[in-house]
Amino acid sequence: MDSISGGNSLPSGADGVKRKVCYFYDPEVGNYYYGQGHPMKPHRMRMTHALLAHYGLLQHMQVLKPFPARDRDLCRFHADDYVSFLRSITPETQQDQLRQLKRFNVGEDCPVFDGLYSFCQTYAGGSVGGAVKLNHNLCDIAINWAGGLHHAKKCEASGFCYVNDIVLAILELLKQHERVLYVDIDIHHGDGVEEAFYTTDRVMTVSFHKFGDYFPGTGDIRDIGYGKGKYYSLNVPLDDGIDDESYHFLFKPIIGKVMEVFKPGAVVLQCGADSLSGDRLGCFNLSIKGHAECVKFMRSFNVPLLLVGGGGYTIRNVARCWCYETGVALGLEFDDKMPQHEYYEYFGPDYTLHVAPSNMENKNSRQILEDIRAKLLDYLSKLQHAPSVQFQERPPDTELPEADEDREDGDERWDADSDMDVDDECKPMPGRVKREIVEAEPKDLEGQKIAEHARGFDCTTDEIAGTKALDPMMPIDEPSVKVEQENLSKGSDQMYP
């Protein structure tokens, strides 16, 4: 086990083993701005990245700039007319489209801002890129802190979320894994992801959230899935002030039993940081270590793991949390005393990584917690073992041949039928990681069949998940950043000449 900056190592044992980690980051992501007074601030990703750089974590993982997701990629889950609307709407034109704004729930919580669509492309590209990396066994853990926007629905924005990168990433993982587990520790219910997979037994969703007169109002303990998906959605309703000990009294036995009976081939963990103590919109009392203990616990199963961000509105604590959790993913502990960096003043007056929880009342009594735990373990007892899944005509694994040195222009899409104009300025990112570009050969994935229906879909999952893969990563021309590019196939919708 390693430690840096004089910190202590994590305990050895099952999760003391080194993991190969891929980290997705676009230097432009912090420039997007929801508007004055809006609690969602993409700037928190830039703050997180600065902490990772100055703690020396970037050199321990592969740093990748995501390939922006394209229209057709987003349409694997989202409705075509909704994606077209997101692409075309601008602050200047929104007054002419009031009916559309209302129809797609865009306006107040989900405002129109400059670069909205490219923001969606960027954060979705990182999550799907992480899924592709895991599918190719190119890393053990993939991280996209810009992702985790779990409220977005097929045809509408919701709760600051426009595109559901998590659903898109899970659809990608389902190409390689018969079962995928989704775990959500954001303070808000992961309603968009639950809804997408409510009727299938191939995706299990488990959400720990504040319940009762709280957005989005869903996530009752009695909501357990439907049809083939019955017992494959679990909801853990919590009250104000829950602390680390109470949280893990539920989290560890429930997730431990889920791992035992569901046996997922891959896990997606949504690490929304609004469940931390002192969040601007939240009302829980978790410490950063308590929050990160969930990451550590999921890591200990040694199953391919995708970590995504989510909520978090006291941005100095969001950056602290996701920096620490990146260290947990890597198996590195580091000093509580924060190194000097460009956002150092945000972290005063103590300039430490960890913050103490408050003395707020924990409204989750032991009796309530025991009842919740017993009820959920009872649901899980109905799943005697991992479901037997028909997985016919499995697509061939996409190979990753040697890099083509003639194809090293970071601004070129090299895609004859792209429906996007790509003109990204490539900015350097801090870190001392060597550059590497891998080009993958397209394969024909047509014929992959995944016969499941999902609530809220107009079509079967095989129509959505079965024939398309995303362009997950975009190269950058900076020698300080290691970039890998897998240009995966799209079945009949083939991308590369």
Residues designated as active site: 151
Contacts 24+ apart (CB under 8 A), 7-13: 7/332, 7/333, 7/334, 7/335, 8/333, 9/331, 9/332, 9/333, 10/296, 10/328, 10/331, 10/332, 10/333
Alpha-helical runs (H) found in 394-491: 461-465
CB count within 10 Å of CB 464 equals 24
Could you tell me which residues are annotated as the binding site for substrate?
109, 159, 313
Distance (Å, whole) CA 462 – CA 465: 5
Specify whether the CB–CB gap between 142 and 131 falls below 8 A.
Answer: yes
Specify whether the CB–CB gap between 319 and 47 falls below 8 A.
Answer: yes
| Burial of residue 399, with CB atoms counted within 10 A of its CB: 0-12 exposed, 13-18 middle, 19 or more buried | exposed
Give the H or E element holding residue 329: helix 315-330
Strands (E), 71-178: 141-144
Could you tell me which residues are annotated as the binding site for a divalent metal cation?
186, 188, 274
Angle at 285 between CA 282 and CA 286, to 5 degrees: 105
**Residue 206, SS3 per DSSP:** strand
Distance (Å, whole) CA 342 – CA 277: 25
Any idea which residue has 């400059």 for tokens? Answer: 114
CB count within 10 Å of CB 447 equals 14
Could you tell me which residues are annotated as the binding site?
109, 159, 186, 188, 274, 313
Distance (Å, whole) CA 49 – CA 358: 27
| Burial of residue 365, with CB atoms counted within 10 A of its CB: 0-12 exposed, 13-18 middle, 19 or more buried | exposed
Strands (E), 373-420: none
Could you say which DSSP state residue 150 is in? T
